[in-house]
Structure 1
């Protein structure tokens, strides 16, 4: 589909599979009624994007869309909005986008609930050692030996540490507290008064690590958080503790975590990895004390529908002359991925 002079043009840089996941029939009709659409099936093709941008007032981006930098902006003199269907915008827009006054929106709020639910699922699995029992039975262990595991615990009354009071972190805190967990948080930007309102104890990182039965990582990937959990800090976790990472592998030294896990001293549940797809020979795959999922925490049907609806809402608001609901500024570029 291509645009016309009578109606605003919107470029949709979302591949067919994701379009089906993101846009319900109703949501797509809403977008199609608001604008003439140029839809890019080859959404990673920079030349195709450059050819589509002239006269476009808005662009919907998805994972893999080429980054909008000065060169592409010269092809888009009418561009007013980049609506990203994910959370981190740094891979898709440059400082020049903001300098030119183009609005940038993202749909990160819509991902918080499903990722928090997966983090809670991981938490319960680690507390009850479900992953160890499953691994033992699947690999041929006897019934008696399959039932052997470190002590198990209920979440009610357990000390749960949260690294990062992000959107997802706060959603996870709410879920964990509803089941009776005693939650502590480390976050340099969380004030004592905000911690009180959340009903959490604010702790330094090292103290949180050494005092928690489960530690859930929910911090952003920035220059400052690279390998925040290194070998020294992983060693602070108590024997039998568990680490949950549904955020970014950036935050954890993966080699150090593998070494710690090989000892059997701690358990982990991980959704994000340095190399994706996770190599078949990666040590995590063979360890009985690790629960793995292939970067799917936000992949619910409902979440993906909300991601598409969020982008379309921002497009419609732009064309109706209304301010965006989920705008971010150039400070969002500090979140690397």
Structure 2
């Protein structure tokens, strides 16, 4: 197998987190890895010298844009293998124009986000956080025969907003449970939704008919504020909104009013801005759980990203193409 000359381009912290020594050793077995730290300034003298003969860039969080000026110093660059999810921050139109092949570990990163989402769906159905708080205050076990009939996960309706890579993994993981799954995605037909294990519905029906709505749409100009005041107002009493996508997709003012009134509950792993100001009302509501953008890969899960990247470099070096390519036409509707 040919061993293409390969360089790392990402923030030092990203390189240290994702590519530990075993991962680097695995990478060296399938390519000629440029020694030294990852490139985080592609205009430096060292970067220009490295890029001159680099065929593959393994990128990560903090990689600078691969614009025309950078690509002019990398005449042999043929492939980009991203250890994270979205490549929107660094893969430019100039890359596509040059015919550079691009791969992403978005699929590997989708799994922990989907696992987080399913965990929150199950916890919300049993109202674990609220009941734990009440138990701590009362210091006595509730009479389980008098638990309200709306507690539990059997036969509840979960609405998935967007059949993105993460949305599809959530549907897959939910299939083993007793949920009715609704899906809204304008790019997915009713037949495809059925094949995934969901029922295709309109956007208004998704919010009006679901006990839990989970947001998985990418942030694009068309999706900014998509979860509007009217949609939030249409949600069932005591319904749950889960957002692991981007904060700007949701009208947070409307959500704050709805949660303050006790009409809906929310789990937010993302907000706009991130972090919310100290005085923001969403911090104060007991029916809102805000987590610090932790659903994506962390800790041991970074090893999955590294493994995916090494496998893609090996496939490309062997002439077999990427298993997880990013086609240029997908950029208009992906994160």
Match of 2:297 among 299, 302, 324: 299
Instruction: Give, in angstroms, the shift of residue 258 of structure 1.
Output: 1.8
Instruction: Give, in angstroms, the shift of residue 82 of structure 1.
Output: 1.1
- Corresponding residue number in structure 1 for 2:5: 9
SS at match of 1:132: helix
- Corresponding residue number in structure 1 for 2:95: 97
Equivalent residues in 2 for 1:195-234 (5 A)?
Answer: 195-234=193-232
SS at match of 1:224: coil
- Corresponding residue number in structure 2 for 1:62: 60
Match of 2:32 among 12, 20, 35: 35
SS at match of 1:161: strand
- Corresponding residue number in structure 1 for 2:14: 18
Q: Closer, same or farther in 2 for the Cα pair 1:327/1:237, shift >3 Å?
A: same
- Corresponding residue number in structure 1 for 2:264: 266
The answer for unaligned runs of 5 or more in structure 2 is: none
Counterparts of 2:194 and 2:12, CA distance in 1 = 46
Q: Closer, same or farther in 2 for the Cα pair 1:261/1:83, shift >3 Å?
A: same
- Corresponding residue number in structure 2 for 1:168: 166
> Are 1:285 and 2:300 matched, yes or no?
no
Does the CA contact (< 8 Å) of 1:98 and 1:330 recur in 2?
yes
Q: Alpha-carbon deviations, 1:256-281, whole Å to 9, x = none? A: 22222221110011111222234433
Q: Alpha-carbon deviations, 1:89-137, whole Å to 9, x = none? A: 1111111101001111111111222111110111122222222345567
Equivalent residues in 2 for 1:36-51 (5 A)?
Answer: 36-41=33-38, 43=40, 45-48=41-44, 50-51=47-48
- Corresponding residue number in structure 2 for 1:246: 244
Instruction: Give, in angstroms, the shift of residue 150 of structure 1.
Output: 8.0
Instruction: Using structure 1 for the length normalisation, give the TM-score.
Output: 0.88
Instruction: Give, in angstroms, the shift of residue 320 of structure 1.
Output: 2.7
SS at match of 1:308: helix
> Are 1:317 and 2:315 matched, yes or no?
yes
SS at match of 2:270: coil
Q: Closer, same or farther in 2 for the Cα pair 1:328/1:306, shift >3 Å?
A: same
Does the CA contact (< 8 Å) of 2:15 and 2:60 recur in 1?
no
Instruction: Give, in angstroms, the shift of residue 205 of structure 1.
Output: 0.9
Instruction: Using structure 2 for the length normalisation, give the TM-score.
Output: 0.88
- Corresponding residue number in structure 2 for 1:108: 106
- Corresponding residue number in structure 2 for 1:3: none
Counterparts of 1:7 and 1:56, CA distance in 2 = 11
SS at match of 2:23: helix
Instruction: Give, in angstroms, the shift of residue 75 of structure 1.
Output: 1.1
Say what the alpha-carbon RMSD is for the aligned residues. Answer: 2.8
Does the CA contact (< 8 Å) of 1:223 and 1:334 recur in 2?
no
SS at match of 1:206: helix
Instruction: Give, in angstroms, the shift of residue 160 of structure 1.
Output: 1.1
Instruction: Give, in angstroms, the shift of residue 69 of structure 1.
Output: 0.9
Q: Closer, same or farther in 2 for the Cα pair 1:336/1:179, shift >3 Å?
A: closer
